Structure 1
Amino acid sequence: MKENKRVLSLLVNNNAGVLSRISGLFSRRGYNIDSLSVGVTADPRYSRMTVVCTGEELILEQITKQLKKQVDVRDIKVLDPEDSVCREMIMVKISTGAEQREGVAAIADIFRAKVVDVSKDSLVIELTGSKNKLEAFIELLEPYEILELARTGIVGLSRGAENVTFL
């Protein structure tokens, strides 16, 4: 049985309890959420949820159908990698002395990452990109001591103007 990954973009009512009800649907049925990002849209009445889940195709279809039935879900799209843009952000705090700062900054430059905080013993670096780009960045930082790491989870939108939902 092949495990597939599905990225779902949900437009939901921006009401209290929506996140709990959506995540509850997953937990009640024993489904795992690999990544979840939520934020308000240009219209404050709605939020966009990007949910990444993994499973057999039949299970993923069932999840999608059950999400469509939720009262607060206004629209749902499966974000096909060929027809969408997905990104993730990480912030990494790295222990650095003065002699290591230049090497860490060089790695950050290669990935077009930003140094967003500098102290005498650490740097905080921000990077946005695909999951593969972020993983490669972390791998190059392995010789240094990573003190903390925070990831946003994936956010995504479909390409083009023809798939836009107007409410």
Structure 2
Amino acid sequence: MKRTITALVNNTSGVLNRITGLFARRHYNIESITVGVTENPSVSRMTFVVAVDSMQNVEQVIKQLNKQVDVLKVKDITDESIVARELALVKIVASPQQRGEVAALVNPFRATIIDVGRESMTIQITGDHPKVEAFIDLLRPYGIKEIARTGITAFNRSTKKPVTDPYRLTLIN
């Protein structure tokens, strides 16, 4: 099953290495990881999407993370009301004649064309994981040259009510 775990950590060198090493020692695959400085420059937020076998394993990982010196707070937010986004840059093969078609795909997804070359285009898309996947699938027929993705970054919503938004991130167990 896939779980989304966030951690607030001291913004010091070596923290990322120690934390990812903990996952590696337990043989958990990190499917995506994002790290960035928070509103406090001395604290970073890490967001992990990990594949684990059971809830018991998730609880054990959280306990191990909490024992790390530089970890301030750890939380499994998978089943909570969250805001989650991913960024992808996609470079596709696009002749001048195909650019209009591609622009027609870009608009409904609120993506942005950020670079145009003689025979290629680079498009930026942000959104939840299913939206980014759907957009990439639509671009495949043009020929994808490169993809760079950030992975999911997330935190809790302001309201604690269950979300009925169909665009909410849904991770498949």
TM-score between both structures, scaled by the size of structure 2: 0.88
Cα separation, 1, equivalents of 2:18 and 2:66:
13
2:30 maps to 33
Q: Please, which runs of 5 or more residues in structure 1 have no aligned partner?
A: 163-167
Give the number of aligned pairs: 159
Dislocated runs of 4+, deviation >3 Å = none
2:97 maps to 99
Report the 3-state secondary structure (helix = DSSP H, G, I; strand = E; otherwise coil) of the residue aligned with 2:98: helix
Deviations 1:63-101 (A, max 9, x none): 111111111110112213541111111000011111111
Cα separation, 1, equivalents of 2:119 and 2:159:
47
1:148 maps to 146
**RMSD between aligned alpha carbons?**
1.4
1:165 maps to none
Matched letter for residue 6 of structure 1: R
Q: Please, which runs of 5 or more residues in structure 2 have no aligned partner?
A: 161-173
Please say if residues 37 and 153 of structure 1, whose CA atoms lie closer than 8 Å, have aligned partners that are also in contact: yes
Deviations 1:20-54 (A, max 9, x none): 00001011121111111001111110111001111
Cα separation, 2, equivalents of 1:68 and 1:94:
43
Percent of pairs identical after alignment? 50
Cα separation, 1, equivalents of 2:39 and 2:27:
33
Please say if residues 5 and 78 of structure 2, whose CA atoms lie closer than 8 Å, have aligned partners that are also in contact: no
Cα separation, 2, equivalents of 1:88 and 1:115:
17
Please say if residues 85 and 129 of structure 2, whose CA atoms lie closer than 8 Å, have aligned partners that are also in contact: yes
1:85 maps to 83
TM-score between both structures, scaled by the size of structure 1: 0.91
2:47 maps to 50
**Which of the residues 21, 25, 43 maps onto 1:24?**
21
